Structure 1
Amino acid sequence: MIPQDVAETIVDPKAYGAGKPVDEAFAWLRREAPLAQAQPEGFDPFWVVTRHADILEVERQNELFHNGDRSTVLTTINADQKVRELMGGSPHLVRSLVQMDNPDHMNYRRLTQGSFIPQNLRALEARIREIANGFIDRMAAHGDRCDFARDVAFLYPLHVIMEVLGVPESDEPRMLKLTQELFGSADPDLNRTGTDLSEMDVGTGVDTIQSVVMDFMTYFNGITEDRRAKPRQDIASVIANGQIEGQPLGYIEAMGYYIIVATAGHDTTSSTTAGALWALAENPEQFAKIKANPALIPGLIEESIRWVTPVKHFMRTATADAELAGQKIAKGDWMMLSYPSGNRDEAVFKDPFKFDVERTPNKHVAFGYGAHVCLGQHLARMEMRVLWEELFKRLESVELDGQPRNMQAAFVCGPKSVPIRFKMH
């Protein structure tokens, strides 16, 4: 068993907000107990998978380690019970690709997969460049200081994915707010109650998240009706009119599809973009390298994805007795794949706590691996590449203008504020 203080740290949204406590807890685990069980107060016991190699091993075997049998996101015993009561026994408030196993996972993924492959994304590049330049102009209009997270990083990937999905620009602020309320449900600055999750009772916590999900569903219900009547060239039309084995998508599944595209489709890219500029402002020598040699931009992208690792964990459930890293895993055991820990694994990354745009190879696990590898990874990379290519043409210097802050969340978490001073031409 993992010592109680370490177990409590790795489930604490505030510890992820602070960054350092979680980094230290995972570093200790990789060293002393790379695969062991945690049982923080109020939680069922779960295995904590901290090493890069073991994370890949679990991801590789998606029939042995399922996504959907139990909650795919770490949750307390009471919250799990409440969700199952609301959802007729299902542990999921939302059923998207993330919560599915085969054959559903493959069938649903296939619907939109073509839209996200590199050769089909190339057609979008010119438009994405236009959008990026628009946001860089807006940044320049701030003068010499702005909050890079709020003024640029949150809004640019949001605009791209909403255009791809087919959500009108006038609804983007609503989509951003709902996304932040969903992923930031533990953060008093972002959730819709304005209180700390630790101070809410379980019912309120689950109800708060469910009310956000319901708002998404109400919105996308309207989109579905519109696209069934008047299909367009967008992802919403694919979801609204798609069929699985000759039948339209189930209601819960269609809504889950919209929600994952409308949230994960921008939030993780926003976090990585904001985190990259934060790191560059703190490491001027890295900024200077890219300024002198823009060919390093792909390296900046991979390193910032590793550095931020916006998705902190997914849970898996063993479908049979198994062995992993010398430990016996029992059928039904719950496992936490810790991506930030895998991305700081000393066995894989030299000097893992250093931000290095020339790091090579950089085999991070931030997009997952195997059957569940992130569907939007190529779009995310393209958005970041285009933004950095355009921004570095104009950005002369950048430094922090106050203390950046991360959101408090144990599932999906990134910067919520990155105040900077900058010079542009």
Structure 2
Amino acid sequence: MALTTAECVATVVDPKAHADPARLNAAYAWLRQNDPFARAQIDGFDPFHLVTRHADILEISRDNSLFPYGDFPSTLAPHQAVEAGRAAKAQGRPLLYTLVQMDEPDHMKYRALTQAWFMPQNLRKLEGRIRELARQVVARMEALGGECDFVNEVALHYPLHVIMEILGVPAEHEPRMLQLTQELFGATDPDLRRGGDESPEARQMAIQAVLADFFGYFNALTEDRRANPRDDVASVIANAEIDGERISAFDAVSYYVIIATAGHDTTSSSTAGAMWALAERPDQLAKVKADPSLIGGLVDESIRWTTPVRHFMRSAARDTEIAGRRVKAGEWFMLCYPSGNRDETVFEAPLEFRVDRSPNRHLAFGYGAHLCLGQHLAKMEMRILWEELLPRLKSVELAGEAQLSEANFVNGPKKLPIRYVFE
């Protein structure tokens, strides 16, 4: 059946389509081939372009001054929410102000506060503790007796515990952090969102309520770390200074929120995505088991394959040209990372999962100034888990229907029943 630009745009924006990879990938492929800078005009939204080719996503991402967030939010939002956000920002009362919402000069100033914590040379000192946690994961899988929901019983908890230890959140509060993260990123998913009403107005109110809960928790953490600093990231943030002045409690809490959510959710999704792929492809499991040097390739391929962050938005600061088309200052763009990660001009057989894919120039961590702060930690966690798990994992298969979340911003497996045999 022939597709049209309008049909493909509607698919990419539809949260439900992100739980249907075949439908979504068909839309992305058609856009890359026929309309790679498609203009979207959807009722209730400001017009925007879908950027679906790898090269164009790179071009926009590498020039943060020409393509900032500007007056638009960092993720796709209805016109009413865009206007409300602008008004709140003008009054100095935005809902949230994190690294992913910041343009320069704020972005680099705030990023520098914690960047050293997430660089490889600092993370090496955490490797022993992370390996200990990974071994606990393997022991838990063994205790589950050969069958489990890998998402909800395994994948969600391992990276959550790692990032909460780094941040300084007590282990007994991890379930609350997980619930709030799922409610925030899963606001369009019927199983994950807060409340049963799926209307845009109810969704926005639910997100505001989730953020209020985050702020209530992290305001108390800020006060504690200012009074009793420790060797954790929470203390770094709570006592940080920008241009000689301590950052506000609002900025501190915003910083905590991005670390406490993105710091584990995307890693758990990629880990579950890898297990799902291996369960369906015993040849790939056999290949990486036979050659453990391919574990790094497995990690990168699972990140490309899953691409948990589905998009970020950018706008044009001035008139320019992208993809051979003139754009005017103020135009809005959706960077479609799953499409870039399946671009046929960059990846051979992009719809195949290959643990030995090399090179693997995926865009799942973004690119340019906004390259994911936690990418090295995420890859280390996943590498260590597979180093501990693969020698024990003789076989794995699906034991029921696996499901992806219905979300067009942050997406990943929400259910993965598997049956496995340990060596």
Give me the TM-score of the superposition, normalised by structure 2.
0.97
How many angstroms does 1:293 deviate by?
1.0
Bigger mean CA deviation after superposition, 250-259 or 353-362: 250-259
Of 134, 141, 144, the match for 2:143: 141
Q: Which residue of 2 aligns with 1:252?
A: 250
Cross-structure match for 1:290: 288
CA distance in 2, matches of 1:141, 1:356: 30
The whole-number CA distance in structure 2 between the counterparts of 1:96 and 1:159 is 22
Deviations 1:192-228 (A, max 9, x none): 1034x3xx1x322211001001100100001001101
Aligned to 2:191: 189
SS in 1 for 2:270: helix
Seen in structure 2, the aligned counterparts of structure 1 residues 346 and 32 have a Cα distance that, compared at 3 Å, is same
Deviations 1:244-286 (A, max 9, x none): 0111113332111100000000000000000000000001100
Aligned partners of 1:252 and 1:375: how far apart in 2?
A: 20
Q: How many Å separate the matches in 2 of 1:265 and 1:114? A: 15
For residue 18 of structure 1, report the CA deviation from its aligned partner: 1.6
Query: Counterpart of 1:270?
Result: 268
Count residues in correspondence.
420
Per-residue deviation, 1:94: 1.5
Pair 1:68–1:384, CA change in 2 (3 A):
farther
Residue 76, structure 1, aligned to residue 78, structure 2: yes
- Say if 2:45 is the partner of 1:43: yes
Instruction: Report the Cα offset of residue 288 of structure 1.
Output: 0.4
Name 2:104's counterpart in structure 1.
102
Question: Is 1:413 aligned to 2:411, yes or no?
Answer: yes
User: After superposition, what is the alpha-carbon deviation per residue over 1:344-387, rounded to whole angstroms, capped at 9, x for unaligned?
Assistant: 00000010000001111000000011111000000000000000
- In structure 2, stretches of 5+ residues that fail to align are none
Q: CA RMSD in A?
A: 1.3
d(CA) in 1 for partners of 2:375 and 2:92?
29
SS where residue 13 of structure 2 aligns? coil
CA distance in 1, matches of 2:149, 2:94: 35
Which of 285, 307, 315 aligns to 2:313? It is: 315
Aligned partners of 2:219 and 2:249 also within 8 Å: no
* Most deviating of 11-20 and 180-189: 11-20
Which residue pairs with 1:3 in the alignment? 5
Alignment map for 1:7-406 (pairs within 5 Å): 7-84=9-86, 93-195=95-197, 197=198, 200=199, 202-406=200-404
1:86-137 alpha-carbon deviations (Å, 9 max, x no partner): 5656795321000001110000000000000001100000000001111111
Distance 2:171 2:70 in 1: 34
Give the AA of the match of 1:76: P
- Asked if the contact 2:5/2:38 (under 8 Å) is kept, the reply is no
CA contact (8 A) 1:70 1:91 kept: no
Deviation of 1:80 after TM superposition, in Å, equals 2.4
Q: Distance in 2 between matches of 1:188 and 1:380?
A: 28
- Tell me if the contact between 2:222 and 2:252 (Cα under 8 Å) persists in the aligned partners: no
Q: CA deviation at 1:84?
A: 4.4
CA contact (8 A) 1:82 1:206 kept: no
SS, match of residue 393 in structure 1: coil
**What SS does structure 2 have at the residue aligned with 1:237?**
helix
Q: Is the 8 A contact 1:281 1:399 kept in 2?
A: yes
Q: Is the 8 A contact 2:5 2:31 kept in 1?
A: no
Seen in structure 2, the aligned counterparts of structure 1 residues 156 and 105 have a Cα distance that, compared at 3 Å, is same
8 Å CA contact retained: 1:323, 1:329: yes
Task: Check 1:19–1:106 CA distance in 2 against 1; reply closer, same or farther (3 A cut).
Answer: same
Instruction: Extract unaligned runs of 5+ from structure 1.
Output: none
- AA aligned to 1:401 is A
Equivalent-residue separation in structure 2 for 1:286 and 1:89 (angstroms): 54
Distance in 2 (CA, whole Å) between partners of 1:43 and 1:260 is 25
Q: Secondary structure at the match of 1:361?
A: coil
Q: In 2, distance between residues paired with 1:279 and 1:91?
A: 43
Q: Which residue identity does 2:257 align to in structure 1?
A: I
Q: Deviations over 1:153-179 (max 9, x none)?
A: 100000000000000000000000000
Aligned mates of 1:80, 1:141 — CA distance in 2? 49
Q: Deviations over 1:51-83 (max 9, x none)?
A: 001100001100000024311100111232344
Q: Distance in 1 between matches of 2:63 and 2:89?
A: 28
SS in 1 for 2:353: coil
The letter for the 2-side match of 1:163 is E
Do the aligned partners of 2:5 and 2:35 also contact (CA within 8 Å) in 1?
Answer: no
| Separation in 1, partners of 2:44, 2:66 | 27
Closer, same or farther: CA 41–3 of 1 in aligned 2, 3 Å: farther
Work out the percentage of aligned pairs sharing the same amino acid: 57
